[in-house]
Structures are given as structure tokens and as C-alpha cells.
Amino acid sequence: MANKTLARGMGTFFKDCQHSSTRWPKCPHEYTIRYRNAAGKQSEESGFATQDKAIERLTEVYTAKKAAPRSQTKAARIEKYGQMRFEEYAAGWKAAQRDLSESSLRHLNSLPEHHLFPALGSRRMSTFDHKVVDGFIQAMERQGAGLATQSNAFDKLKSIILDAHRLGLYDENPLEGVKPPQYDPKRAVIPSPEKLQEIRAAGDDDLLLITDLMSGCGMRNGEAAAVNINNIVADDVYRITEQVNQTTKKYGRLKHRRVGEYRDTPLPARTKETILWYAEKHGTNSDGYLMHHPRDANQTYPAHSLSNQWARIKASGDVEIPEGLVIPPPHAWLDRPGRQDAQYGPRRLNATHRFFSSASKRVKA
């Protein structure tokens, strides 16, 4: 009895008779195959009338054996994560988001707690499909959630479901065919220089300083709250190095920047005068910061102080505040002929573009 061996790992086939292998095609006896199963034990099967059928069966066993580890791994994942409740799975997913800042983490904690978990927290992961996801969106609509909230909640749910889909929990994407909430924010309104003057005069010294920093240097709210007299690095350049983090209430790195990175911005004459005037009138702390908590000079300027004052100005009616008004950087006015003024920043658009393009590159402090 001779054996014929195929490719390594596929096994062998033979006839249990006295005929030589050269006579097998004409021999009436049936073929037998021998191989190692998925458990590694030797197995035999007989009853194959032709050599082709024996080889076909060996190929089938070999293919299944090669695919078995992958199938077993996928089955183990489905068994482990499929029965897991959404709230537990989301907690594991959130723990893997290591690159988020403190404010982003706060946002990530708030959305699931107030929107995802009440509706989906107890649902098992294997039961999600497009009907479940669409039902969640409809539930938010019935509850009167704003479009921005709906969009943010859907984005978080989408990220978690796609993570589960990559693990193989679903044969089809549960998000396929789902129409996401359509959030279309209103167009921002840029005030004219005359309107900006009215806003500057409507509040206290803090609002005046913040308004000039935002309009003159293009600062965000948190960056303006961290203004430091030592950051005037040239007569016409201010170096933005940090911001007040609204979550930690401490000075922190700039948004979309690493620790130690900064950006240089143009410093118009009026903005510089406002900084120096405020420092002379109110003083600075030992580190050069101008603004601080109204009741504690050692704490950062609180975000609610600005928002409360802004709300009071709007409610008073002393200044007409259009809906959606924002305080823009200086180059926002430069496309309006006859409205340019050196006190608001560079007079020429190409000069502003050239300065901001080069100054906004990330560099190490």
C-alpha cells in the first residue's frame, strides 16, 4: 500500500489494496484519505470512487482547518462582546480615547450620560441594527433635543457602533441607510467697526479688553482670558502661548497645539494700548497675567463672567446685538472697502494673509 502526499499540511490519499499506485486509476477499489483534523489528531475517511473526489475532500478539509482559527476568534469576540450591554461596551471604548483633551473628555462624558445611556444603555451590543439607530434619533426628536445635540449624540453612537462592527459583531453595518440629524448652524454675523465700538463701551473693563484682543489679535475666549503682558514680544506682535481651560479652570495648552507650542499674531496699536492701559489700571499678578477671578486673584478668569455680562448687555437693549453675532479677527473687515482702519489690524488683505500664514505654523517655544 503506497501513499500519495499533497502539499504540506493537506494530507494523503491511498488505496488499501495490493495494486501499485500506477494501477489505481483502473483499480475498482475505493480511495481512502488521511489528514490531521483541527484538533491535531489523525483522521481517515474512505469511500471515494475517484482520485479527484479524494483530493477535493482533502482540499475542503484543509481550507476549513486554515479558516478555523479566524472563525473561532470571531466567534469568541461575538460571544464576549455581543452579550455585553451598550453602557459597558461604551465605557471600554471611551477608555481607549487617550488623545482627547480635558474639555473633549467632559463632552464625551456628558453626551452618553444624558442621551445615549438612558435610551440604549441596557441594550445588548448584538441587537443593534439600522432600525434601533433610527429609533434613537426619532426619540431625540420627540424629546425636543436641539439639532446640534442630536448631531453630536449620533456621532458618538456612530463611533461606538463602527468600533463594534470592526470587531465582527455585525454581518451588515447597522448604520447603513440611517439618515443622520441635519444640523445646519446659522450664519455668523460680523459686526461693523461702529458696532464694535458700541460693544466695547457697553461693558466693563474686562469686556473691553477681551473685545479688543478678539478683534485685534483673533484670540479665542480662553486665549483672551489668559492674556499676559510678557507675551508682547515686539511692538506689533503678540505671542499666544496658552488659554484658560474651562474644564480644569487652569492655564493650559492651546487648542490643537501640544504643550509648549504657540502662535504669533499681529498686535494692532489700539490692542496694545488697551493691554497697557488695563495693566496700569488693574495691575498684573506676579506672572504677568492681567485677568483673574473677581474674588480671587490667584484663580483664572471664569468663563461665566464673560457670558453673564454678554447676556446682560443683550437683555438691556442698550446695544442692538444681532442673532449670531461674533467678534472676529481683524482680517474679517478687510474685504469691505472704506472700512479699514489701522487700529483694527493690517490694512491690506495680502499682508494679513502673509502674516497669519507664517505665524500660525506650529513651532516650539
The DSSP output letter for 157 is H
Paired residues of 5 in beta bridges? 12
Query: What pLDDT is stored for residue 39 in this prediction?
Result: 62
pTM exceeding the 0.85 threshold for the entire prediction: no
Is residue 313 within 8 Å of residue 319, measured between CB atoms? yes
In angstroms, the Cα distances linking 284 to 10, 99, 122, 223, 291 are 81, 34, 53, 16, 8
What the block records as the C-alpha cell of 180 is: 443622520
Count CB atoms within 10 A of the CB of residue 112.
Answer: 22
Interior/surface letters 120-138, b for 16+ CB within 10 angstroms, e for the rest: beeeebeebbeebbbebbe
Distance CA 296, CA 51 (A): 91
How many helices and strands, by DSSP H and E, does the chain display? Answer: 12, 10
Q: Look at residue 333 in the predicted model and tell me its pLDDT.
A: 40
Distance between CA atoms of 243 and 225, rounded to whole angstroms? 7
- Per-residue pLDDT of the chain (365 residues), as tens digits, is 556 666 677 888 888 888 888 888 888 888 888 888 766 678 888 888 888 888 888 888 888 777 665 566 777 888 889 889 999 999 999 888 877 766 677 777 888 888 899 999 999 999 999 999 999 999 999 988 888 889 989 999 999 999 999 988 998 899 998 999 887 766 777 777 888 888 888 888 998 999 889 888 888 888 999 999 999 999 999 999 999 988 788 888 887 788 888 989 999 999 999 999 999 999 998 889 999 988 888 889 998 888 888 888 888 888 887 776 765 544 444 333 333 343 344 444 344 444 444 433 333 33
The dihedrals phi and psi of 240, each to the nearest 5 degrees, come to -90, 115
Residue 198 corresponds to which amino acid?
A: E
Of 65, 56, 67, the closest CA to residue 6 belongs to 56
Cell of 79: 460571544
DSSP state of 186: P
Cβ count within 10 A of residue 340: 18
Residue 14 phi/psi, 5-degree rounding, is -165, 175
